[in-house]
Chains A and B, each alone.
Chain A
């Protein structure tokens, strides 16, 4: 029996035990996103334009991550809209970072794993670097946008007499709280993904100049920074969109015929 398969079965059972229907949707979402990533890789491998594939797949991945969650449908719509806007921003930043920083590909440190592989494969690795940066940020963007939107809707629901000005104030408070926790999530995730790389750099006594310029390290740090910028942007945009909807419709934003009740 395969250890990973065993753990996946355990995950499935745990999700069912704790989440019931919502747990199953979460599991389904992970599977769909796995499939979308395979599709992304396959399409890029077949030579489709990486930018087009990246945009389409990112939109789909965000949709799966957002619409398979519980919540009011209006919350999900606003979350989705915010995530799409931020996606555009992050793609531009990722291209800019790749253009300025030459973050693509491999270096001498990778020689071991590259042994026996042909490197002249005719696919532009700078596009792959952009894809890695953008995909890494997607989860964090969706999470931050969702948290802000859901919390603001709850504020509107709990405070019948709330004014737009007060809502904006609440948005600031909620936004800065979520900023802290979401950035921590990403921060520890990135640290946890890169322990061997850090140990490598210290064990081989890299110089300060290498710490500030070496491709492997800077690529990871830039990926993390873009994710954090994505979180920040998601919080600002989600705040703006909820306030905009509230200014236009007032408490009507709560009244939806198709509230999804778990």
Chain B
């Protein structure tokens, strides 16, 4: 029990340490950073929009100390609605990034880096405690390395305007999965089979989607509803599908391959169909929960927009088309990848395991 309390205290301590570091790093900022000393909120008006939604608007007068500019105290006004869809209600001790227009300061955005640092510290400390130094360094190294590789491809894509986006991200996916698997499994035969199955299953899902799009002429798919588009949306969507499903397929293929290699260690005298069948039964046990992981991520993102559209008097079928369309499509394509990875992996691993035996004879 005491050990648990000690660990919890260390976790909390690290999170707080980095949180407070985030609150004290304003000297590194070029733009003015302020801390709210006091606030006065006054009610402005009730409002009702054309759909009958009632809301209240408020005005805040904030006394803000500009902490990286000689602690000058300024007054800033902030308007917010009680729905806070595009505004926030600030509290005393909040730190805000400010912008100066003329002699007047304005709130640019709340300072969120302390939250970010605190959570990252909490997660890293927790991972370290749970997995020990060696596993921890492998895991974080793989994550950091993959994140950097991903970001450099994104930067490359953002800088130039004529890159073949999909090809670029497909190559990236092949590299990312190779790196992640080498970090987890080492440069082993198991890792190699897992890698080949992952790439193959993902490719199959992609081809299935492309075929479905061609056969139906893309009916019912609204790429134009994608947010933050700066380039042609369709290739970007395919790229998202490839990268998004990668982790889940690797997880699944890895489990199947590990299971079948384990069988071989127990007794090497098995037929292809024995391996293949066991591969299928390992796979179908996990494919449900894995599909759910991605489903939740892709659909949850759409919730605020769906609520907003509902409140604006749109009906469900329009919302499904406009706000949830691509989330659902990504879920289905990913699910196809996850399902097909099972026979692909089982086949490749079974083939490999029985072939070796023949050679040995």
Contact = CB atoms under 8 A, between A and B. Distances in A.
Interface of A: 1-8, 10-11, 14-15, 18-19, 22-23, 25-26, 29-30, 33-34, 37-38, 40-42, 44-45, 61, 65-66, 68-71, 97, 100-107, 109-110, 113-114, 117-126, 128-129, 131-132, 135-140, 142-143, 146-147, 150, 172, 175-176, 179-193, 195-200, 202-203, 207, 209, 212-215, 218, 221-222, 225-229, 232, 235-236, 262
A106 B267 CA distance: 59
Contact of A176 (B135, B228, B309): B135
A212 B248 contact: no
A49 to B, nearest CB: 15
Given A125-B304, A226-B119, 18 more contacts: A22-B285, A26-B287, A30-B331, A65-B292, A66-B289, A104-B84, A121-B53, A121-B308, A122-B311, A136-B297, A176-B135, A179-B131, A181-B255, A192-B244, A195-B169, A213-B110, A215-B109, A228-B123
B186 interface: no
Contacts of B212: 3, 6-7, 10
Interface stretch (B59-67, B219-227, B353-361): B219-227
Contacts of A11: 332, 335-336, 339
Chain A interface mostly:
helix
Interface in B113-138: 113-116, 119-120, 122-123, 126-127, 130-132, 135, 138
A243 B133 CA distance: 24
A142 B289 contact: yes
Contacts of B92: none
Contacts of A29: 288, 292
Interface stretch (B34-42, B69-77, B147-155): B147-155
B290 A3 contact: no
Contacts of A125: 83-85, 304
Interface in B284-325: 284-301, 303-312, 316, 325
B295 A139 contact: yes
B300 A18 contact: no
Contact of B335 (A30, A207, A209, A262): A30
B213 to A, nearest CB: 5
B143 A117 contact: no
A1 B213 CA distance: 10
Given A199-B158, A232-B130, A139 B293 contact: yes
A185 B293 contact: yes
